[in-house]
């Protein structure tokens, strides 16, 4: 077993330069056999960043397991650190740390032999520079293109193309130049600001730390020298100010501090600033710090500011200068990298986390899917694990953001599955679709309340959910009759009927079921606006969709009624003969047979139709509506 390394104390050495460069966050990527591990091991060895015990173990490991005879096999050093590989978590990013007198480095190591876009993207999300390894004998591979594409998409703007194993091509300049030429054509369609190609031999150390005598034709720094001097500063200080409010400090009535990490730009006391979403203006009064107030601060500092006026800002607001504001919109176009085993369902409600804010969001349209190997775009109805799509995204409320190209903090978000709480997708914002300033809802002079008052009722959606055959439609019909007897104004939306008209273009796949419910939800909402009591009878097997409609209609007006009947009873009843056909394989995706039914966790009403008559249940529902005020008694 090889012990893990720790950083040596080199940063303290006497050779410290006058102005140390900021930490460099580097992603190492490339195909599996291109020598990534050997390179990392060689870098650490040459910089004497391997401790005695590690080196001793490495020597004996090299003799036993190595492939290089008497030589030290550096791959074993790095691979030894990845014992997790054997335990089956090989797909994960590992972080390594080392320092030289010139600079500290954080290396995110994306395993090359696994073709997991998800993990590559995770590693790239915080990287400023990527070392892309290529085997000089093989040239560019599919994997090389993929990694270059993902790095570019995630905003890595500086690439080192490390053409490795030059010793195996006799240090031939022509081979190097040919690969560099090939890469230039790949990079042409990508968004890199700098590409430095370096011919190396990780195994022998050529051009890794010192210039190589074997390649006198090469003019330019060694890899380490290049990394130590690479200027990747993303004009963080010059960019427009973005300060997402992270936490509000209310120590006392008198003190209100707004804490957050400056995502870009700088601010100083006296600056006029704006809370982007509300547009409210104020002035920075103090920048509070434990050692004494500051006069100014810049990215990436974490600060706490106070305002001259009492304006209401809260977690998720983005502070900016008045002349350089971010976009504020509730719809935008974004690349999504899908990270969940459950595929993307357009229309389904996910939880979005953006600039500290959490809110409901859904994908309204997939424009295209991106093939990261070829750059080709194709139509798609869904995204599966590790797929990348360009999508329209809608949020429940307007949010402040920038395009990711302009700001890697305020242009990024994640989507979270509401039920598993898994991170479902990483989002990279391209541009706003409608500016919030243009989308103020059409102000209507006759309101929902006015219409409802005319009808002497409180509008509501009665959402009947349950297995096929549970009795939803029967009961809903009885309830509607009873409502009409009482002069209530109603409308019935029934699964079968809707599918004959509004939704006749939809089938029964998971994706189509989601869309079916979304449309019904929108119609129900319109009818509630009209002041009606809307009865909806749909199997609606997924919690996420019922939640979506609840959010759409509004918590106050959504009454979820779970008509509960055991599957056996429903199969027995089988009023439409559907279970029989599904069990015979004639119908696919039938709830309760080959598609799950997710029972409501907290319905307003849960009524067992196995034990009571439809009539009795309908009466119970009417009693509930009287009790909760929907019906005047």
Partner 1 sequence: MPLTPHLRRLEAEAVFILREAAAEFRRPVMLYSIGKDSSVMLHLALKAFYPAKPPFPLLHVDTTWKFREMITFRDQTAARVEMELIVHTNEDGRKRGVSPFTCSSSAYTQAMKTEALRQALNEGGFDAAFGGARRDEEKSRAKERIFSHRTASHGWDPKTQRPELWRIFNTRLGAGETMRIFPLSNWTETDVWDYIAAENIPVVPLYLAKERPIVRRNGAFIMVDDERFPLAPDEVVESRRVRFRTLGCYPLTGAIESEADTLEAIIAEMRLASTSERQGRLIDFDESASMERKKREGYF
Determine the interface stretch with partner 1 among 4-12, 180-188, 195-203, 206-214 (rule: CB under 8 A): 4-12
Does 288 sit near partner 1 (CB under 8 A)?
A: yes
Q: How crowded is residue 485: how many other Cβ atoms within 10 Å of its Cβ?
A: 9
Q: Which strands sit side by side in the sheet containing 194-199, from one edge to the other?
A: 94-100, 103-109, 24-30, 129-135, 158-164, 194-199
Determine the interface stretch with partner 1 among 8-16, 342-350, 482-490, 588-596 (rule: CB under 8 A): 8-16
Does 615 sit near partner 1 (CB under 8 A)?
A: no
Provide DSSP, 348-370: --EEEEETTEEEEEEEEEEEEEE
Residue 367's Cβ-side half-sphere holds a number of Cα atoms within 13 Å equal to 13
Cβ proximity to partner 1, 41 vs 495, nearer residue: 41
The values of phi and psi at residue 281, to 5°, are: -105, 150
Q: What is the smallest separation between the CB atom of 173 and partner 1, expressed in angstroms?
A: 33
Does 6 sit near partner 1 (CB under 8 A)?
A: yes
Asked if 426 contacts 387 with a C-beta cutoff of 8 angstroms, the reply is no
Going residue by residue from 412 to 431, which x/- string records binding to partner 1, judged by CB under 8 A?
xxx-x----xxx--x-----
Does 106 sit near partner 1 (CB under 8 A)?
A: yes
Determine the interface stretch with partner 1 among 251-259, 324-332, 534-542, 570-578 (rule: CB under 8 A): 251-259
Please report, as residue ranges, which positions from 110 to 149 form the binding site for partner 1 (by CB under 8 A): 118-119, 121-122, 125-126
Cβ proximity to partner 1, 123 vs 603, nearer residue: 123
Cα four-point dihedral sign 585, 590, 596, 597: negative
Determine the interface stretch with partner 1 among 20-28, 177-185, 199-207, 473-481 (rule: CB under 8 A): 20-28
Of 218, 408, 472, 547, the one binding partner 1 (CB under 8 A) is: 408
Please report, as residue ranges, which positions from 31 to 70 form the binding site for partner 1 (by CB under 8 A): 48-53, 55-56, 59
CA distance linking residue 215 with residue 337, whole number of Å: 41
* Of 540, 608, 609, 613, catalytic: 540
Cβ proximity to partner 1, 92 vs 574, nearer residue: 92
Does 11 sit near partner 1 (CB under 8 A)?
A: yes
Q: What is the smallest separation between the CB atom of 177 and partner 1, expressed in angstroms?
A: 36
386 CB-contact burial (10 Å; exposed 0-12 / middle 13-18 / buried 19+): middle
Token pair belonging to 437 = 């300033």
Please report, as residue ranges, which positions from 67 to 86 form the binding site for partner 1 (by CB under 8 A): 81-84
Compute the CA torsion angle 325, 331, 334, 339 (nearest 10 deg).
120
Closest Cα partner for 25 from 101, 148, 109? Answer: 109
Of 68, 94, 311, 523, the one binding partner 1 (CB under 8 A) is: 94
The helix/strand/coil state of 596 is coil
Q: What is the smallest separation between the CB atom of 94 and partner 1, expressed in angstroms?
A: 5
CA distance linking residue 628 with residue 555, whole number of Å: 13
Please report, as residue ranges, which positions from 213 to 232 form the binding site for partner 1 (by CB under 8 A): none
Please report, as residue ranges, which positions from 317 to 376 form the binding site for partner 1 (by CB under 8 A): 339, 351, 353-354, 356
Whether 31 sits among the annotated catalytic residues: the reply is no
Closest Cα partner for 239 from 165, 298, 292? Answer: 298
Of 141, 195, 261, 430, the one binding partner 1 (CB under 8 A) is: 261
Asked if 363 contacts 346 with a C-beta cutoff of 8 angstroms, the reply is yes
Cβ proximity to partner 1, 139 vs 257, nearer residue: 257
To which H or E segment does residue 511 belong?
helix 510-529
Cβ proximity to partner 1, 23 vs 447, nearer residue: 23
Helix 614-627 crosses helix 472-485 at what angle (to 10 degrees)?
A: 50
Does 315 sit near partner 1 (CB under 8 A)?
A: yes
Cβ proximity to partner 1, 199 vs 411, nearer residue: 411
Q: What is the smallest separation between the CB atom of 109 and partner 1, expressed in angstroms?
A: 9
Q: What is the smallest separation between the CB atom of 278 and partner 1, expressed in angstroms?
A: 19
Of 140, 276, 304, 617, the one binding partner 1 (CB under 8 A) is: 304
CA distance linking residue 207 with residue 53, whole number of Å: 27
Residues designated as active site? 540
């Amino acid at each position: 077993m090889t012990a893990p390394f720790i950083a040596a104390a080199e940063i303290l050495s006497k050779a410290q330069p006058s102005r140390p460069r900021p930490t460099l966050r580097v992603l190492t990527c490339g195909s599996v056999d291109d020598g990534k591990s050997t390179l990392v091991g060689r870098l650490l060895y040459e910089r004497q960043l391997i401790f005695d015990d590690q080196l001793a173990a490495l020597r004996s490991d090299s003799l036993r397991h190595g492939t290089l005879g008497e030589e030290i096999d550096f791959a074993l050093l790095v691979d030894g650190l990845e014992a997790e590989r054997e335990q089956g978590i090989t797909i994960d990013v590992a972080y390594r740390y080392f320092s030289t007198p010139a600079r500290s480095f954080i290396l995110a190591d994306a395993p090359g032999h696994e073709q997991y876009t998800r993990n590559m993207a995770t590693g790239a999300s915080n990287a400023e520079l990527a070392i892309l390894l290529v085997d000089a004998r093989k040239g560019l591979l599919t994997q090389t293109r993929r990694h270059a594409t993902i790095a570019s998409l995630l905003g890595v703007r500086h690439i080192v193309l490390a053409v490795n194993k030059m010793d195996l091509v006799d240090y031939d300049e022509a081979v190097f130049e040919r690969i560099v030429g090939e890469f230039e054509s790949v990079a042409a369609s990508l968004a890199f600001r700098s590409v430095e190609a370096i011919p190396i031999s990780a195994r022998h150390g050529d051009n890794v730390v010192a210039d190589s005598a074997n390649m006198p034709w090469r003019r330019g720094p060694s890899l380490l020298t290049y990394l130590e001097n690479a200027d990747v500063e993303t004009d963080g200080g010059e960019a427009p100010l973005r300060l997402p409010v992270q936490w509000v400090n209310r120590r006392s009535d008198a003190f209100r501090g707004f804490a957050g990490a400056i995502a870009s730009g700088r601010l100083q006391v006296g600056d006029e600033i704006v809370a982007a979403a509300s547009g409210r203006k104020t002035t920075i009064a103090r920048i509070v710090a434990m050692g004494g107030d500051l006069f100014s601060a810049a990215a990436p500092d974490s600060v706490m500011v106070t305002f001259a006026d009492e304006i209401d800002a809260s977690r998720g607001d983005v502070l900016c200068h008045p002349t350089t504001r971010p976009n504020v919109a509730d719809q935008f176009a974004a690349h999504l990298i899908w990270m969940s085993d459950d595929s993307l369902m357009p229309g389904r409600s996910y939880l979005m986390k953006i600039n500290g804010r959490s809110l409901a969001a859904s994908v309204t349209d997939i424009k295209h899917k991106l093939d990261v190997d070829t750059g080709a775009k194709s139509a798609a109805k869904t995204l599966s694990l590790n797929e990348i799509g360009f999508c329209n995204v809608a949020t429940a409320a307007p949010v402040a953001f920038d395009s990711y190209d302009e700001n890697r903090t305020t242009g990024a978000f994640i989507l979270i599955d509401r039920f598993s709480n898994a991170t479902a997708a990483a989002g990279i914002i391209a541009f706003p679709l409608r500016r919030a300033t243009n989308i103020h809802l059409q102000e209507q002079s006759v309101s929902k309340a006015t219409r409802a008052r005319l009808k002497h009722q409180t509008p509501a959606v009665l959402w009947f959910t349950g297995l096929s055959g549970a009795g939803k439609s029967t009961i809903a019909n009885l309830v509607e009759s009873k409502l009409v007897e009482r002069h209530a104004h109603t409308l019935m939306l029934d699964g079968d009927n809707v599918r004959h008209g509004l939704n006749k273009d939809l089938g029964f796949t998971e994706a189509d079921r989601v869309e079916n419910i979304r449309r019904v939800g929108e119609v129900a909402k319109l009818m509630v606006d009209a002041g009606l009591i809307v009865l909806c009878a749909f199997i609606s097997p997924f919690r996420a969709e019922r939640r979506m409609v609840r959010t759409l209609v509004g918590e106050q007006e959504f009454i979820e009624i779970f008509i509960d009947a055991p599957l056996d009873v429903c199969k027995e009843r089988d009023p439409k003969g559907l279970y029989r056909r599904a069990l015979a394989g004639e119908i696919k995706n039938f709830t309760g047979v080959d598609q799950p039914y997710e029972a409501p966790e907290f319905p307003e009403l849960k009524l067992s139709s196995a034990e009571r008559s439809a009539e009795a249940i309908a009466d119970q529902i009417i009693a509930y509506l009287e009790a909760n005020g929907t019906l005047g008694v």
